[in-house]
A and B are shown apart, each in its own frame.
Chain A
Amino acid sequence: MTTKQAVRMAVALPAKHRSRLMNTAREARFPVGTRLFEEGRKADRFWVVRTGTVTLDMHVPGRRSAAIESLAAGELVGWSWLFPPYLWHFGAEATTPVRAYEFDALAIRLMCDSDPQLGAAVAQWVGQVLAHRLTQARMRLLDLYAPHGSGPPR
């Protein structure tokens, strides 16, 4: 199983690649309620949370957006920037005051293009994040806490 620890940038990326990325990072602060991005908009940045909580949400027509997952310190916020068409799949909002490292997506993609080793490492990191979240989503899909949520006994 991919563990949450393993998908953290500090663990998933080798030091030399991590430091190259961090050299491009800038510090960002978001007050409570700030929308980091909106579903369907251009994915031109991403973040690694330092403190606070960011909640991912999905637009539901005719209803309020559905919150689907919260992300805390050390976690990657945003992966749509790595894959065409570079549009956000979800929305994101700061549910507490958030401090984060902010990265320019285009600059990182260009760095990855010019350095295949870096590109592979970043792709692997983001892939691990996606695999971890898919596993978590599937666990939640089982609705385990409901009566007989894990299915009838054999």
Chain B
Amino acid sequence: MTALPVPYRVVARWQETPDTRTLRVEPVRERLCPFVPGQFAMVHAFGRGEIPVSASAIPIGGGLGFTVRRVGAVSEGLYEAGPGDTVGLRGPYGTGWELEKAACDDLVVVAGGIGLAPLRPLVRDAVADPEPYGRLNVLVGARTPADLMAHRETGLWRTAYTGVTVDRPGAGWSGDIGFVTALLGRARFDPRATTAFVCGPEPMIRATALRLAALGVPGEHIRVSLERNMRCATGHCGHCQLGPLLLCRDGPVIGWDLAEQLMTVREL
């Protein structure tokens, strides 16, 4: 791990949604330590600054994928980066999803919006090597059909149940309409032997985790990815503090048994 950004070259980019792109990057010289699904990097747009971005692709052959939504100056710079451009990376940082601890369990993956990005490497791993796990369920919610990230790939994953729902369907949509938690009623899993992985806006994470807990999934088996204002990413600056946790170091992925109390404290 390094404190200075390591140059990586953008080798490809593709549009995920109207305001979101994925960049595939390769090291220019030095290579960062391997990432595991759920970990993030501080991604540097030279001349603009850096932001935390979870790895959305961890190809076996090397390189990394980062999915960036255009919402601010730095993310705008990264969004506009194209093949041949150079970005800086620090990392990997934080905790991963720890899929390996879910051996023998049914898997419930719940993504809201581009919350699918950090979950995608986990789902790819589970699809590529399904043997150790029970039934895989992937539930995705988005604002509109156009906002569905990796919609084609999602449809190709071999799962026990894949559900996709949108808030605002528009013309031509024949799929589900409603909040993503509604899909839990159709997923196929034994709550007592299930590990869930949840990523998206925090109110959606909370609603989903409460629902899973109500169904009987143990809190420590509900893994959620939280976001705060990460700056140093090494647990020193305190910007990403959430109660007793520093999310850059103790997170971003934590168990609901830890997160539940923290997410019910106002202003925290």
Measured CB to CB, the residues of A under 8 A from B are 1, 3-5, 8, 53, 55, 64, 67-70, 72-74, 95, 136, 139-140, 142-150, 153-154
Q: Identify whether the interface residues of A are mostly helix, strand, loop, or mixed.
A: loop
- Check A139 against B69 for contact (C-beta < 8 Å): no
- Which of A64, A147, A153 has a CB less than 8 Å from the CB of B19? A147
Evaluate whether A145 and B142 lie within 8 angstroms (CB atoms) in the complex, with A3-B215, A4-B185 already known. Answer: yes
Count residues on chain B whose CB falls below 8 Å from chain A CBs.
38
Q: Is B211 an interface residue (CB 8 A)?
A: yes
**Distance (whole angstroms) from the CB of B84 to the closest CB of chain A:** 28
Q: Is B71 an interface residue (CB 8 A)?
A: yes
Q: Report B200-226 CB contacts with A as 1/0, cut-off 8 Å.
A: 111110010011001100000000000
The docked-state distance in angstroms from the alpha carbon of A55 to that of B200 is 25
The answer to whether residues A136 and B201 also contact, given A3-B211, A145-B147, A147-B69 and a CB cut-off of 8 A, is: no
Of B86-94, B129-137, B174-182, B248-256, the segment with at least 4 beta carbons within 8 Å of chain A is B174-182
Which residues of the other chain, A, contact B69 by a CB distance below 8 angstroms? Answer: 147
Restricting to B163-180, which residues have a CB under 8 Å from any CB of A?
165, 167, 169, 171, 173-179
Check B210–A144 contact: CB distance below 8 A: no
Residues of A within 8 A of B142 (CB): 145
Say yes or no: A5 contacts B176, CB within 8 Å: no
A68 to B166 alpha-carbon distance, docked (Å): 10
CA distance A1 to B213 in the complex (A): 11
Of A69, A147, A154, which contacts B177 at CB under 8 A? Answer: A69
Residues of A contacting B165 in the complex (Cβ-Cβ under 8 angstroms): 70
CB distance from A104 to the nearest CB of B (A): 27
**A70 CB to nearest chain B CB (Å):** 5
> Is A136 a contact partner of B173 (Cβ separation < 8 A)?
no
- Contact yes or no, B185 A140, CB < 8 A: no
Interface: B65 (CB within 8 A): no
User: Interface of B with A (CB < 8 Å)?
Assistant: 19, 69, 71, 112-114, 141-143, 147, 165, 167, 169, 171, 173-179, 181-182, 184-186, 200-204, 207, 210-211, 214-215, 229, 267
Given known A-B contacts A4-B182, A69-B177, A136-B179, A145 and B207 have beta carbons under 8 A apart:
no
Question: In the complex, what residues of B have CB within 8 A of residue A64's CB?
Answer: 171
Q: Which residues of B contact A150 (CB under 8 A)?
A: 201-203
Q: Which residue of A lies closest to B144 (CB)?
A: A145
Which of A70, A72, A142, A150 has most B Cβ within 10 Å? A70
CB-CB < 8 A to B167: which residues of A?
Answer: 140, 143, 145
Give CA–CA (A66, B143) in the complex, Å.
Answer: 15
How far apart sit A140 and B114, CA to CA, in the bound complex (Å)?
16
Once bound together, how far apart are the Cα atoms of A53 and B163, in whole Å? Answer: 13
* CB-nearest residue of chain B to A147: B71
- Docked-complex contact B182 and A136, CB < 8 angstroms: yes
A154: nearest chain-B partner, CB-CB: B267
Instruction: Kindly identify which residue among A53, A67, A144 contacts B112, using a CB–CB cutoff of 8 Å.
Output: A144
What residues of chain A lie closer than 8 Å to B175, measured between beta carbons? 70
**Which of A67, A68, A144 has its CB near the most chain B CB atoms (within 10 A)?**
A144
CA distance in complex: A52, B202 (Å): 31
For the complex, give the distance between the alpha carbons of A1 and B13 in Å: 41
Pairs A–B under 8 Å by Cβ, sample size 20: A1-B214, A3-B214, A4-B211, A53-B176, A67-B169, A67-B173, A69-B177, A70-B165, A72-B176, A72-B185, A72-B186, A136-B181, A139-B179, A143-B143, A144-B113, A144-B200, A145-B112, A145-B141, A145-B147, A150-B202
Task: Report the minimum CB–CB distance from B222 to chain A (whole Å).
Answer: 15
Which of A1, A95, A146, A149 contacts B210, CB < 8 Å? A1
Question: Closest CB of chain B to A63's CB: distance in Å?
Answer: 10
